[in-house]
């Protein structure tokens, strides 16, 4: 069904999802984009084996990116995960949350598409 270049992109802003999806598709990735973490999680549960990478925003309604990453790792422990946020993630508040999650990468918004593509290529 999906190649090893399949990426799940999750952000509550439709424009960001659309931009990342379009950019990654131009580089040969198969991308499923979501603005709702609950729908994204349901999709991931059904299709987890096909994914090579999950990219998630940190702050979203209904479920935080931290919780989403935790749940995806429970489903597929080997999945590579990447967080993005407009907020500085290096403060002590986040370090307690990030340690057990084992995040593979992080980028701060606004996102440089060139940097995002480079990171995704390196991780997938």
Q: What is the number of residues in the chain? A: 124
Residue 32 in contact with residue 59, Cβ under 8 Å?
no
Q: How confident is the model at residue 23 (pLDDT cuts 50, 70, 90)?
A: very high
Q: Residue 98 has what pLDDT?
A: 55
Q: Residue 115 has what pLDDT?
A: 87
Report in angstroms the alpha-carbon separations of 38 from 41, 53, 67, 109, 120. 5, 18, 11, 22, 23
**Predicted model pTM:** 0.86
Question: pLDDT tens, 28-78?
Answer: 999 999 999 999 999 999 999 889 999 999 989 889 998 999 999 999 999
Q: Residue 38 has what pLDDT?
A: 97
């Amino acid at each position: 069904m999906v190649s090893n270049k399949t990426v799940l992109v999750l952000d509550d802003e439709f424009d960001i999802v659309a931009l990342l999806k379009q950019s990654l598709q131009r580089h040969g990735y198969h991308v499923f984009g979501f603005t709702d973490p609950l729908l994204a999680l349901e999709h991931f549960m059904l299709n987890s084996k096909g994914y090579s990478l999950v990219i998630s925003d940190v702050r979203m309604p209904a479920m935080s990116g931290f919780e989403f990453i935790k749940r995806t790792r429970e489903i597929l422990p080997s999945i590579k995960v990447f967080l993005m946020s407009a907020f500085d993630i290096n403060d002590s508040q986040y370090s307690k949350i990030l340690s057990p999650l084992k995040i593979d990468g992080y980028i701060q918004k606004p996102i440089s598409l060139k940097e995002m593509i480079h990171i995704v290529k390196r991780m997938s």
